[in-house]
Amino acid sequence: MMRQLLLQPWFLGIFGLLVGSFLNVVIHRLPRMMQRGWMEEAAALLQDDEGWKSATGQAQPAGLAEAGRKIDQALESLPACTLVRPRSRCPHCGHLIRWYENIPVLSWLALRGRCSSCKAGISWRYPFVELLTGAGFAWVGMLHGGEPLALLYCGLVAALVALAGIDWDTTLLPDSLNQPLLWAGLLVAGLGWGGIGLSNALAGAVGGYLSLWSIYWLFKLTTGKDGMGQGDFKLLAALGAWLGWQALLPIVLMSSVIGAFVGIGLKVAGGLREGRYVPFGPFLAGGGLVVLFAGLPRVLGWMGW
């Protein structure tokens, strides 16, 4: 009885709003955590005289090791940056966000989209991410009502929302999200929970990766430029593992349609500057969500197949 209650669409929707609030933190902080990690690695490499000599065949230039130590010291002096520390605060005035100012959607509406202290604007994207995640969780509940499998698909929705937000902001698709998503899809299929079978999931993962990898190298060899990031390969591989190889082409086509609409909208609104790079990951995630929610047979019907 309790399990059935917790898996109802309305309950999953509320839970999704809370998860969406946390995803806003993930979208904002995970790239910063990654960048700090890269700086720490760079500092360690600068202090590695033997590593420099092994890589270049020459002695390390004077001053590099000292620069690495200074970078280390500067990083150690910074406050901790994790998904839970420090507490959320206004980026304009430093006001610590109280618990009642952090209630999904409602707090943003009550505050009229402004900080309670300095009155600086709070982006509409925060409630949008919360509503998107809540709606996605509720939809999953309607598709898989009362089944524990719904929680796994809710995890898929949450990961796709986070990846889309991070890629849109930074053009990064973190391996720390992409890789667990891929392995989770294969595990679900291997245990017989997702209904597509392990062979289908494996074909989807391999086909998803190799298809975009091939396009990337064809474009690079033809133009000498990078056409997309390698995180896109991994994201489509993860979607193939969850949804099967038959979903790959519909996902890519849906991604192109969504991307075209967004690109036209940005162009009309003046938000797309000439030469600006628009990441593909958010549209891949969107295409995956369309196939997940509408179902592959219906999407194929839309395409006339």
141, part of any domain: no
159, part of any domain: no
Give the pLDDT confidence score for residue 2 in this predicted structure: 63
Pair 183, 283 in one domain: yes
Residue pLDDT, tens place only, 89-119: 898 898 999 999 999 999 999 999 999 999 9
Give the pLDDT confidence score for residue 128 in this predicted structure: 97
Pair 106, 181 in one domain: no
Domain finish residue from 95, 110, 125: 110
Q: What's the one-letter identity of residue 60?
A: Q
Pair 280, 197 in one domain: yes
139, part of any domain: no
Please tell me whether the peptide bond between 86 and the residue prior to it is cis, using omega within 30 degrees of 0.
yes
Pair 223, 297 in one domain: yes
Residue pLDDT, tens place only, 209-236: 999 999 999 999 999 888 788 999 999 9
Pair 103, 187 in one domain: no
**Separation between Cα atoms, residue 130 and residue 122, nearest integer Å:** 14
82, part of any domain: yes
Residue % of the chain over a pLDDT of 70 = 96
**Separation between Cα atoms, residue 156 and residue 153, nearest integer Å:** 5
137, part of any domain: no
Predicted TM-score (pTM) of this structure: 0.93
What is the rounded average pLDDT for all residues in the chain?
91
Cβ–Cβ < 8 Å for 213, 263 = no
Strand partners, 96: 89
pLDDT band at 121 (very low <50, low <70, confident <90, very high): very high
Give the pLDDT confidence score for residue 274 in this predicted structure: 56
**Separation between Cα atoms, residue 183 and residue 178, nearest integer Å:** 9
126, part of any domain: no
Residue pLDDT, tens place only, 36-91: 999 999 999 999 999 889 988 888 888 899 999 999 999 999 988 899 888 888 98
136, part of any domain: no
| Average of per-residue pLDDT across 280-300 | 94
Pair 181, 275 in one domain: yes
Domain that holds residue 269: 172-302
Pair 188, 106 in one domain: no
Give the pLDDT confidence score for residue 190 in this predicted structure: 95
Q: What's the one-letter identity of residue 205?
A: A
Number of domains in the chain: 2
Pair 191, 276 in one domain: yes
Give the pLDDT confidence score for residue 276 in this predicted structure: 63
Pair 89, 185 in one domain: no
Q: Which of 242, 169, 234 is nearest to 200 (CA)?
A: 242
- pLDDT of 208 strictly over 70: yes
Domain finish residue from 68, 94, 110: 110
Domain finish residue from 80, 110, 140: 110
- The values of phi and psi at residue 71, to 5°, are -65, -45
Q: What's the one-letter identity of residue 104?
A: P
- pLDDT of 246 strictly over 90: yes
55, part of any domain: yes
Residue pLDDT, tens place only, 82-91: 998 888 889 8
**Separation between Cα atoms, residue 213 and residue 229, nearest integer Å:** 10
Residue pLDDT, tens place only, 130-164: 999 999 999 999 998 778 899 999 999 999 999 99
